[in-house]
């Protein structure tokens, strides 16, 4: 993937971030996921007054893709104010669909802060292979 393609995905996540529903934390997150088939899915964090019901941007993008029949992912961009990393729950959901998925973390100015893989973010991940008998 070229730097221009990565930047385009970051820009898409940053644009999505503007639609985040964050009345409590004031910490908007946007995600843009590209599947191996080339389709794009975005997500934003959606907070709830009952805090455990809040959903992260990364999981929303992934769940949208899965609901459309996509389960093989190439790359996901996550944009936060400060370039924060995906939470543990999101890392586990990403691991379900491939440890080699590239994860771009960018700040609100659209600048790439860190690039990793799901495997690097969640070493020793519990994956579907652990459930085989």
Q: What is the pLDDT of residues 92-133, one digit of tens each?
A: 999 999 999 999 999 999 999 999 999 999 999 999 888 987
Q: Residue 87: CB partners within 8 Å, gap ≥ 6?
A: 56
Check: CB of residue 58 under 8 Å from CB of residue 43: yes
- pLDDT, residue 40, reads 98
Report the relative pairing of strands 73-79 and 102-106 from DSSP bridges. Answer: parallel
Q: What is the CA radius of gyration of the chain?
A: 14
**56 φψ region: left (φ > 0), alpha (ψ -120 to 50), beta (else):** beta
Residue ranges of domains in the chain, CATH in brackets: 3-131 (3.40.140.10)
Q: What is the pLDDT of residues 47-103, one digit of tens each?
A: 999 999 999 999 999 999 999 999 999 999 999 999 999 999 999 999 999 999 999
Taking residues 34-45, report their average pLDDT. Answer: 98
Residues with catalytic roles: 58
Q: What is the pLDDT of residues 16-26, one digit of tens each?
A: 999 999 999 99
- pLDDT, residue 132, reads 81
- pLDDT, residue 26, reads 97
- pLDDT, residue 46, reads 98
């Amino acid at each position: 993937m070229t730097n221009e393609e990565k930047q385009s995905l970051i820009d898409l996540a940053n644009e999505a971030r503007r639609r985040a529903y964050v009345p409590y934390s004031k910490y908007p997150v946007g995600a843009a996921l590209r599947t191996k088939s080339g389709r794009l899915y975005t997500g934003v964090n959606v907070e709830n007054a009952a805090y455990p019901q809040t959903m992260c941007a990364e999981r929303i993008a992934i769940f949208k893709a899965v609901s459309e029949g996509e389960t093989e992912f190439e790359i996901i961009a996550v944009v936060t104010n400060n370039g924060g990393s995906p939470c543990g729950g999101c890392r586990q959901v990403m691991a379900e669909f491939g440890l080699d998925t590239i994860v771009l973390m960018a700040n609100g100015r659209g600048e790439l802060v860190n690039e990793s893989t799901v495997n690097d973010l969640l070493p020793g991940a519990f994956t579907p292979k652990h459930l085989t008998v």
